[in-house]
Structure 1
Amino acid sequence: MSISARRVETFGTTIFTEINQLAQQYSALNLGQGKPDFDTPADIVAEMIKAAQSGQHNQYAPGPGIASLRHAVANHAARFYGLDIDPDQGVIVTAGATEGILSCVLGLVDPGDEVIVIEPFYDSYVPNILMAGATPVFVPLHPPTWTFDPDELRAAFTPRTRVLILNSPHNPSGRVFSREELSLVAELCIEHNVIVINDEVYEHLTLGGSTYIPIATLPGMFERTVTVSSAGKTFSATGWKIGWAYGHPDVLDGVARAHQFTIFAVHHPTQEAVAYALNQPDSYYNNFRTMYQSKLHLLMDALDGSGLTYRAPEGTYFIMADFSAVFDGMPRDFTRYLIKEIGVACIPPESMYSKGHVHIGKNYVRFSFCKSDQALVQAKGLLSKLRG
């Protein structure tokens, strides 16, 4: 007999846990989860150690986050995007972007509301919506260009639409949405009085000369956008789970109310280190993009010799690759084959689609390149066995 609450009875084990376990079982090279296999910069780690050893930062932090980090988030938004954020009323520090998204949904969405989700999507979005008693409405990106159909987007808006969740740079497709695309989203959200939850965790991971444009910078959108980001991707510190949400105090109020009873406060010494990290000079962010551009080329070189096809991503550290020329089956089937027989792990996207749209990604899997150069070179030899 099941004793789970109905709100979670459809939630299974996340695909990331499943693939990580399978990769470990078969000693496969893991290009699945977006978890760097190299460390956080040493000077940032040293700040966390210093904070922990100071004797002043090992008790509860303020619920909304420490003042230095809230100011650093506001300064970062002004520095890179020209946004004027109130550090006291317009920033909340969260337990990673995942908790930030959950607090946004719980604080802004009522039972019976509809939330537009662009798919494929990060796998926590839909469970968050369902736990809030709301209904997800799906708008797919169409491969191989990973663009949405404007008519399909328009049709998703109804009188019940409350929120649209936007992710750019987009996981898993690697798209960085253009100003034209964002302008259509903004136009529809203003017309229908819809709030945007903007997940920008890959904001500094733009590739090939692409430019990330926060939707909050578009006319009429700052007052209706909550922006969520984190330190995990930008500083190779996914285990620290320090994120933030920022925006106009009026739209952030509901998020703050939910956050205080979801997690209350997050790890204090690490907040001190992330406040330091956000103030890194431009050279850090430039070198960060250069590093990932190099890693992207290594993975593309590996894929070019495998028989898999792909579109070079504009952002994130992921590539969606089409396996239909080398394997006949669904993505989960191919992923298991790749792990067991080839020795490489990737992520199948079935859990990133609604049931009605899972066929759209039926030939694709996601590879991550947030790995050491040695691992990415090793991938070339392993993946070449696919063509053979």
Structure 2
Amino acid sequence: MTEEKFKPARRVAGQRQDVWSIINEAAAATPKQPVETNCDDIAFIGTELTVYIGYNPPQFVLDAAKQALDRVECNQYSPTKGRPRLKKAIADAYSPFFGRELNPETEVTITTGANEGMLSAFMAFIEPGDEVIIFEPFFDQYLSNIEMPGGVIRYVPMSPPKDGAERTSSAANWTIDWDVLESSFNEKTKMIVINTPHNPVGKVFSKEELQRIGDLCLKHNVLILSDEVYDRLYYVPFTRIATLSEELAKQTMVVGSGGKCFAATGWRVGWLCGPPELIKYVSAAHTRICYSSVSPLQESVAIGFEQADKVGYWDHSVKEMQGKIKRFCEVFDELGIPYSDPEGGYFVLANFAKVKVPDDYQFPDHVVNRPRDFKMAWFMIMELGIAAIPPTEFYTDQNTHIAEDWIRFAVCKNDDVLEDAKDRLRGLKTYMT
């Protein structure tokens, strides 16, 4: 009886080892010489190109954080919907895109990171049996966030260009299976999740693609959760689906991230913007989940938005990241490894079909039966000292074949780290066909 009572819930029981723990395990076991770092997690290995940003937020944001800690009110609970200064700063920042003034009191709510914001949106609207459409590859947290309130996920795959193993092309060439998308809508569909700029593909959904998705949502009366956390890092024209029409704006909740905007992912400051009749329920769910979010860091992000335009921060961020992408991808051009040139964000997907791991290479039991990209990721850590992420983790099992030749790299690193990575990647020449 005691054993039965202590049995874990199905949502956490019996799950296979996740990609993050696999990469950490490989990092801990690699014979390659690590570099010194202040992070005791994945970033300690020789050269990691996974997810961590390798540099600090801009100085004006750091200064704001330090000053906030000296203020009594910034060390106490903030209002559950967020600090007024931050809500106003976000409303002011988004209003030009919407062509009208957003109301910071009713159309913005602050959350403990974008992920908790999305969980709050699902908790606010998803009942057991409601269906949610997501695109593959997906941010892995979507799955548990949808399933916890009892939601059922409908998956719509995106596919790379057919010649992705032969030549480099734009991330725009990853395409939606429109037939699968249209057939996924039914009377149970409650919500669809869009991620643009997309992680890990780097695709910025075109206006035409968003309109086509939006038309389906209007036809079936479906809510839209638009994950736009990389919305300050786009290199082609960027459209927000909520701005396409008043009708779509009424059905759309936009997700944002202070961590992604200001290279401060550990701060966990996120938000949702949308119509009052939706946002009020997201706020209610957020209150039940964690009550309020970190006060001094909310204040810091508010000041960050207030000053960003004045100091030219947004333009600088875009130019800097484009430079890092170009710098890093030089090694793929040199090796003849095709990649998807990202339209936004800081991830690069490279196609490793030409790289062959030796047939007799020994993998641990929990890797040997995983898709090819997992083996490639493990191999690169052990043999080259480079950590990257296998993108099949972000596909359903039946669709892993779509992405098993691809590897995701994060270029949000200092230039010396990128140069070190390029040197190490040249070691792949030995294993290329």
Give the TM-score band, short-chain normalised: over 0.9
The answer on 1:309 being equivalent to 2:338 is yes
CA distance in 2, matches of 1:57, 1:49: 11
Where do 5+ consecutive residues of structure 2 fail to align? 35-44, 162-172, 358-370
Verify the 8 A CA contact 2:117 2:271 in the aligned structure 1: yes
Q: 1:75 aligns with which of 74, 92, 109?
A: 92
1:167 is matched with 195
The answer on 1:90 being equivalent to 2:107 is yes
* Distance 1:118-1:98 versus aligned 2 partners, 3 A rule: same
1:59 is matched with 76
The answer on 1:242 being equivalent to 2:269 is yes
* Distance 1:194-1:147 versus aligned 2 partners, 3 A rule: same
The CA RMSD measured in Å over matched residues stands at 1.6
The answer on 1:254 being equivalent to 2:258 is no
Q: 1:268 aligns with which of 295, 308, 318?
A: 295
* Distance 1:24-1:303 versus aligned 2 partners, 3 A rule: farther
Helix, strand or coil: the match of 1:53? coil
The answer on 1:214 being equivalent to 2:236 is no
CA distance in 2, matches of 1:366, 1:43: 31
Helix, strand or coil: the match of 2:74? coil
Verify the 8 A CA contact 1:23 1:30 in the aligned structure 2: no
1:350 is matched with 392
Verify the 8 A CA contact 2:108 2:273 in the aligned structure 1: yes
Where do 5+ consecutive residues of structure 1 fail to align? none
* Distance 1:35-1:96 versus aligned 2 partners, 3 A rule: same
* Distance 1:110-1:92 versus aligned 2 partners, 3 A rule: same
2:210 is matched with 182
Aligned length: 386
Whichever of the two has the greater Rg, that structure is: 2
CA distance in 2, matches of 1:59, 1:15: 36
* Distance 1:202-1:83 versus aligned 2 partners, 3 A rule: farther
2:367 is matched with none
Verify the 8 A CA contact 1:232 1:240 in the aligned structure 2: yes
2:408 is matched with 366
The TM-score with structure 2 as length reference comes to 0.86
Counterpart amino acid of residue 421 in structure 2 = A
Verify the 8 A CA contact 2:346 2:411 in the aligned structure 1: yes
CA distance in 2, matches of 1:12, 1:244: 31
User: 1:62 offset after TM fit, Å?
Assistant: 0.6
User: 1:265 offset after TM fit, Å?
Assistant: 0.4
Counterpart amino acid of residue 75 in structure 2 = N
2:383 is matched with 341
CA distance in 2, matches of 1:54, 1:195: 40
Helix, strand or coil: the match of 2:194? strand
**Larger deviation, residues 103-112 vs 326-335:** 326-335
* Distance 1:148-1:83 versus aligned 2 partners, 3 A rule: farther
Q: 1:16 aligns with which of 13, 16, 20?
A: 20
CA distance in 2, matches of 1:354, 1:83: 40
* Distance 1:162-1:370 versus aligned 2 partners, 3 A rule: same
* Distance 1:308-1:385 versus aligned 2 partners, 3 A rule: same
CA distance in 2, matches of 1:199, 1:313: 17
* Distance 1:83-1:148 versus aligned 2 partners, 3 A rule: farther
Counterpart amino acid of residue 269 in structure 1 = P
Instruction: Name the % identity.
Output: 35
CA distance in 2, matches of 1:213, 1:83: 16
**Larger deviation, residues 182-191 vs 280-289:** 280-289
Q: 1:6 aligns with which of 4, 10, 13?
A: 10
Counterpart amino acid of residue 335 in structure 1 = A
